Each structure stands twice: as structure tokens, then as C-alpha cells.
Amino acid sequence: MKSPKVLALVATIAWGSANAATPNLPPLPTLPPPPPMPAPQLTGIQGAVLLDVNSGQVLMAENAEKSLNPSGLVKLMTAYVMYQAEKQGLVQPQQQVHVSDAAWHAQGSRLFIQPRLPVTMAQLESGLLIDGGNDAAIAIAQTVAGSVGGFVDLMNHDAAAMGLQYTHFTNPDGLPQPGQTSTALDIARLSERLIQAYPQVLQVAGKASYTYNHIIQYNYNPLAGQGAINGLGVGLAAKNSWNLDVSAIRDGRTLVAVVLGAPSRSVAGSDASALLHYGWGGWQNRPLYAAGQVVVQIHHVDWSPEVVQGVTTRAVVVSVPQQQQGAKLQAQFVPQTDLKAPIGAGEPIGTLFVRWHGHLLQTIPVVAKAAVQPAGWFTRLLHEGESWL
């Protein structure tokens, strides 16, 4: 049986080059060479990540995969599961919520909900994301899943689906409990997914304050209300161990800065601010491909049609250091092993690997633009004849 032949990478990078396929798969993505702007020196933290949501690239990492207590940042997954339930029509933002005794007596930060006092899912959302209300988290969990345990199962299911392999949840509020763990990188990836799937979170999480039942609740995020800051969460893992997850948008770019185990809330804010400054000043984004753009053509005489076009499933943007516009990117397409017809439209046919100075920046799924069927004997004969012309 003849092997598929990669004809060409059709869409090349404007200021780079495109390479033919090779059988060797590249390693996992790595950081590109640092920009001229020096990276910030963080202050006694246990882990940190700076991530560009548009490109999906990690721009800076420090102890990114160290297992730590995520504390209040657990509520980001609580929000994700809540939004998912709303999207599926299981709950409605304006529906009235029954407040249980367990939610009423939740420890730590609170929205101060109580039985027989009216509260809606939308109000619980604000209490969850602005002042980190543990009572709001319990009420949301019980409303969505019927029980806290059932909701935690949903949280862990979604964490596994996102590929957060170092994360495990034991409650929806982040209060200390054995077995609850995550990493700075997993929190950043969770934040990325939350923003992409449910961008409405940014309309709530960045507010400086919120009022419920005549009680003003203030955002624990020390950067809330400043400039481009629009979220996301705060947690106290232990005495003198603060976690902070900050998102911000500037000039169309969305950055997420995660700081775990800072010695104080103000230090966490300063370090997160320094990370964002490094992201804005040291890096730039470059668009490579539009969603659905043809990036490769694969030829096989036993297929009908004889050529399948491969397209991207999403818009592709890369983050590269500032002041290095002249340097080249390389795009390398690797077809799937034993690729053969029939191939349905939208089915995977390979992967595009994008490198910068030899560093792998992104791996991009490539799918078939249109369906391909096995060619009949007459069509194969025509194809064989054409190949001799």
C-alpha cells in the first residue's frame, strides 16, 4: 500500500519558513529565548506562571509543577462547573436558591447568605468571585449537583478533561482539606479554559466590591479595579502563604499571572503586577493562521479525491519576544501514522509543530477540510496514469 505524500504546507508564515514532514515527533513545548527585557525577580513565592491566553504559551515559569495547596483558587473550578450547568439549562442565573444550614454556617470568607433570605444564582456568582464567599460555593454546589460530594466529582471530571494532571479537588470552597492539590501551571491552564469558555467571568471577578443584603463585600484581589485587571481569584493557603490569580486584557491580549505561596497578599499583588508588566513589555503576539485556514495538502493515489486539504481548527497566534520581528518561525507538519481513507470532514489528519529558534512553541491539530473516500479501481488507474505524465 502506498503511503500518503505531503505535497506542501500551503499557508506559510509571513516572515518565516515551512518545512516538510519528518517521522520524528518533536518534544513538548519549551520557552523561546527570553526577550531583552529582564524577567522579574519574584519575592519568596513557591510557584508562579505567566500565560498568554491568546497563544496558550507560558511566557515565564517558576516551580510551575510543584504540588501546592490551591486554597481559594479552587473556586475557579467551582465557577467553571456552575457556568457549565447554566449553559446546559440545569440552573438559571435568576433562579432563587435554597440555602442549607451547611452553606449558612460555612467558615472563612462569606457572602452572609442564610435560610429564608432570598438569593439568586447570579448573586451567588458575585459572592463566589468577588469576595470568595465559601457559603456561596457550598450553595452553588448543592444547587447544581444536589450535594457537595456530587459537585466535587464534577470538578475532578472536568479537571481530568482539561488535562490538569496534578490537580485534585476535595471541596468547592478551597478550605484546607487533605488531598486537595494543584500547581501554578494547572491553575493557569484552568484560568485559560475558564476565560475562553465563559468570558462572562471577567465581567464579575474584577469588580472591586459587591453589595448583598446591604453588606458591602470587597474583592480580596489587591489589584482589582486597577487598569486592565479583570480577575480572577485569591486564596490563603496558610499563615503567610497567599495565592493570587490575576487576569488582564490590554490591546486585545489576555494575560494570566498565577502566584502561589507569597508571604503576604500585597507581595502576591506586586509579583503578579511585575509578571503582567513583563508580559506586556517583553512579548508580542503574531497571528499565524485563521480558523479553518488550509495549511497542508496530502496526496494519495488510492483516495478520492486524490488530495485532502488540512485546515486548522482554531485561529493560531504565537507569542514571541519583543524586538525580534526579523527572526524566523518554522512550521513542520507530521501526518498521522497509517493515515488512510475513508477520512471524514473534520477528522484529524496530523499535527503542525511551530518552532522559534529551535524551541517548540505550539502543537496545532490539523483536520480534513472535506471527506475523502477510498478510490475505485478505475479512479486509481486514472491517478496512476496521471502520475506518469
41 assigned to some structural domain: no
Q: Rounded to whole angstroms, how far apart are CA atoms 133 and 362? A: 37
Segment 367-387 shows an average pLDDT of 69
Q: What pLDDT, in 10s, does the model give residues 298-351? A: 988 888 888 899 999 999 999 988 876 556 788 888 898 888 889 999 999 999
Q: Rounded to whole angstroms, how far apart are CA atoms 26 and 18? A: 15
279 assigned to some structural domain: no
Residue 235 sits in the same domain as residue 345: no
Q: Rounded to whole angstroms, how far apart are CA atoms 217 and 210? A: 5
Q: What pLDDT, in 10s, does the model give residues 110-155? A: 999 999 999 999 999 999 999 999 999 999 999 999 999 999 999 9
Residue 56 sits in the same domain as residue 28: no
Residue 60 sits in the same domain as residue 24: no
Residue 219 sits in the same domain as residue 133: yes
Residue 11 pLDDT more than 50? no
160 assigned to some structural domain: yes
- Name the DSSP letter for residue 73: G
CATH of the domain at 366: 2.60.410.10
Residue 242 sits in the same domain as residue 132: yes
Residue 249 sits in the same domain as residue 295: no
Residue 20 sits in the same domain as residue 66: no
Q: Which residue is listed with cell 513565592?
A: 45
Residue 186 pLDDT more than 90? yes
Residue 257 sits in the same domain as residue 142: yes
**pLDDT the model gives residue 144:** 97
DSSP 17-71: EEE---SSPP-S--PPPPPSSPPP---S-SEEEEEETTTTEEEEEESTT--B--G
Q: Which domain holds residue 253?
A: 47-262
282 assigned to some structural domain: no
Q: What pLDDT, in 10s, does the model give residues 56-75? A: 999 999 999 999 999 999 99
CATH of the domain at 91: 3.40.710.10
357 assigned to some structural domain: yes
CA nearest neighbour of 335 among 375, 365, 314, 302 = 365
pTM of the complete model = 0.86
277 assigned to some structural domain: no
How many domains does the structure of the chain reveal?
2
